[in-house]
Amino acid sequence: MAPAVIAKIRWWLEDRLGLETVKEFLAHKSVPRHSATMWYYFGGITLFLFGIQVTTGILLLLYYRPSPNEAYESVQFIMTQVDFGWLIRSIHSWAANLMILTAFIHMFSVVFLHAYRAPRELTWLTGIVLLGLALGFGFSGYLLPWNTISYFATRVGTDIAAVVPLIGPPLARFLRGGSDISGGTLTRFFGFHVAVLPGITTLVLLLHLALVQKWNISVPPKVEEEYQRKGQEVPRIPFVPDFVLRELMAWYITLAILGVLAALFPWELGQKADPFAPAPAGIRPEWYFLAPFYTLKLIPSHVWFLEGEVLGVICFGLLAAAWACLPFWASRRDGTIRTRLVTGAGVLLVSYLAVFSALGYWR
């Protein structure tokens, strides 16, 4: 192609897209560099895994049929008849689990690095909403293969939703599309999984990224204090190409891990769900729901005037609300951060999730 033609195309694109403005912006954008910089990459890794989820989900959507009579068979067809279908499904399932794991790591890194401080309260809140949406993806997608484990695990999950005070019964009926798990539930969960949740997630994700861009990446208080004592500014690295290349390397490592898991440990399909069969022993939800699930099992059937499950759901709701409001109770009136309180709360929550998830898995 002649240089003159290339120049005209560049001028045409620049005139309509303002690419030079973007280039100028990226040339001056920088990221703090310190001992905890590695934790910054987990947000990008989570975004990368979400992209893999969308891509593989679209491929699976070409063959999947959301009805009780065809859902299991369509997944079976994907795994046995479609070229590399088993690999695509394994990648989709493993990427979902890794995405939730990296989202949790990203959340706790924000907590321990105290990156929720003003003026980043809305960044934290949108991040919590995104984590909730990721859990919603996991819960809604779990039923879609219509196998025995997913069927009865979904029944347990919607039974727990039914005990939410005031709105429990209508909430459970809304989720199920009726009084019990049926074809209506499968169709409804399919709609949530491929339309409702992706649409909401896209909007919240764009807002989250815009807020990250507006307020930039936070520097931990200890690092700021250390450099202030030295009379120096926190060193920074260019966003392009330094930080971008490091992030791409993190994506490459993530993709390698994902490929190994999908190839060596392909996701099993199990047996087709039979609503009239008794629930098999040892039914439990996915690992990211194990801690609250096991906690509810430990609560006595009645505590004072409340049923045990109702009390547990209320407590978890209050805990989630308190955690979402962390930026507000973590700050004193003078603007300083209760770092020890927040760090202690973070350690307790991580310990609870790890211990009770392990107990829920082994018992």
Any idea which residue has 């539930």 for tokens? 185
CA angle at residue 343 from 339 to 349, to 5 degrees? 150
Average pLDDT over the chain reads: 92
Please tell me the predicted confidence (pLDDT) of residue 196: 97
Residue type (1 letter), 183:
G
Judge if the upstream peptide bond of residue 68 is cis by omega within 30 degrees of 0. no
Within 8 A by CB and 6+ apart from 143, the residues are: 150, 151, 154, 181, 185, 186, 189
Q: What is the CATH number of domain 37-220+236-283?
A: 1.20.810.10
Write out the two tokens for 20: 């030079």
3-state secondary structure of 68: coil
Among 76, 136, 113, which Cα is nearest to 268's? 76
Question: Which tens digits make up the pLDDT trace of 95-142?
Answer: 999 999 999 999 999 999 999 999 999 999 999 999 999 999 999 999
Q: Domain residue spans in the chain?
A: 37-220+236-283
Residues 198, 191: Cα–Cα separation, whole Å:
10
78 and 64 in contact (C-beta within 8 Å)?
A: yes
Residue 305: pLDDT band by 50, 70, 90 thresholds? low
List strand residue ranges (DSSP E) for 168-282, in order.
236-238
What are the backbone angles phi and psi of residue 285, rounded to the nearest 5°? -75, 180
Higher model confidence: residue 297 or residue 262?
A: 262
Structure token digits, residue 9: 């195309």
Q: What angle do CA 107, 111, 116 make, to 5 degrees?
A: 95
User: In whole angstroms, what is the distance from residue 236 CA to residue 84 CA?
Assistant: 44
Pairwise CA distance, residues 98 & 265, whole Å: 14
- Contact yes or no for 218/115 (Cβ under 8 A): yes
Q: Is the pTM of this model over 0.75?
A: yes
- What the block records as the tokens of 181 is 């798990």
The pLDDT value given to residue 282: 75
Which residue from 45, 96, 71, 56 is spatially nearest to 253, judged by alpha carbons? 45
